[in-house]
Amino acid sequence: MDRGRPVEAITLVNCHGMSATVLAYGATLQSVRVPDRHGVFADVTLGHAELAPYVEQPQFFGSSVGRVANRIAGGRFALDGQEFLVPVNDGPNALHGGPCGFDKALWTVVEATADPAPRVVLTHISPDGDQGFPGTLQVTATYTLSDDGDLAIEYRARTDRPTLVNLTNHAYWNLAGESAPGGAMDHVLTIPAEHFLPTDAGAIPTGEFAPVEGTPFDFRTPAVISARVRDGADAQIRIGRGYDHNWVVAAERSEAPRLVARLEHPLSGRVLEVLSTEPGVQFYSGNFLDGSSIGKAGQCYRMGDGIALEPQMFPDAANQPGFGSIRLDPDQEYRHTLIFRFNIASN
């Protein structure tokens, strides 16, 4: 229950037994169960067994975040010459839509079906002025699970007044299993990007598109995360206490989802490919997990126990014209399609 209202949980299952559970609270991906190379299933996304921690200790585990994912510098932006303020919730900045963003909304389940593929459709109406954003925004999140191992999420939105929109899913992954004691730092990561966005001490991009060449941010060739995540010689690693940066996969959005990241756990053979229509992907190495959140198997989540790969438009695009527009007008429809594709490594 959320403040006396029932919260639905819908489990999608494909023909191979892979499953994904979605909560109406935050349109949240609570669980994803996939097999390893021996056919043994494990839940590979971090989250809670009960609703209360999602409400009382929000960590964005699997949440749909918005209206604007990532950070808005100073909680301020201008639109058509008018300044708007978003309540700050990350030091001096607004993060993931403010303190009462979409991750804390009780979405409405409007459809749940098994044919032709298991899927659930959730909707949410964000009123004009919600968290300071202009316009009434009607949002839809559709989760679809295929027999090929694709978990697709499609976000759509329409507004009655010019506003800003940048939606993504904030799942944390540990392909060894969400309760595996070794965490996710032994995973092998690939990000097909030649540039990333350096940040200031408040995690706001400086506006520079920095080459990854010769830095710990070069994941064009697969690399083990633990080999670089504590490289104290790099100023950006020191600022983020690890990785909490956006990689520039492309200059603009695409019509069809494209690969933005690949994650592999060599021991189990599980592989996650992340595809998206957005040009950027935020890689967060779980730097601030401090043991205060208890996972589904009763384990304390600690630093590095899971990583997030969040496809999106670039952070603080509201204030940085060089990052592209996240504006949505009444005659437009916002759409972001992302796919979490699971398979087994061939070797």
CATH code of residue 173: 2.70.98.10
* Rg of the chain over all Cα atoms, to the nearest angstrom: 19
- Which is nearest to 176 in space by CA: 13, 11, 306? 306
pLDDT at residue 3, as a whole number:
62
In a domain, 1, yes or no: no
In a domain, 49, yes or no: yes
C-beta separation of 132 from 153 below 8 A? no
Active-site residue among 264, 265, 310, 336?
310
pLDDT at residue 57, as a whole number:
87
Active-site residue among 48, 124, 170, 265?
170
In a domain, 100, yes or no: yes
CA distance 286 to 303: 5
In a domain, 186, yes or no: yes
Domain count, the chain: 1
The SS3 of residue 4 is coil
Measured CA angle at 128 (ends 125, 131), to 5 deg: 90
In tens digits, the chain (347 residues) has pLDDT values of 556 678 999 999 999 999 999 999 999 999 999 999 999 999 999 999 999 999 998 899 999 999 999 999 999 999 999 999 999 999 999 999 999 999 999 999 999 999 899 999 999 999 999 999 999 999 999 999 999 999 999 999 999 999 999 999 999 999 999 999 889 999 999 999 999 999 999 999 999 999 999 999 999 999 999 999 999 999 999 999 999 999 999 999 999 999 999 999 999 999 999 999 999 999 999 999 999 999 999 999 999 999 999 999 999 999 999 999 999 999 999 999 999 999 999 86
Task: Name the pairing type of β-strands 258-264 and 270-276.
Answer: antiparallel
Residues in the chain: 347
Tokens of 286: 């779980």
Tokens of 161: 């007044």
CA distance 28 to 246: 22
The Cβ of residue 309 has, within 10 Å, a number of other Cβ atoms equal to: 27
Residue numbers of the domain that contains 297: 9-344
In a domain, 4, yes or no: no
Known catalytic residue at 245: no
Known catalytic residue at 273: no
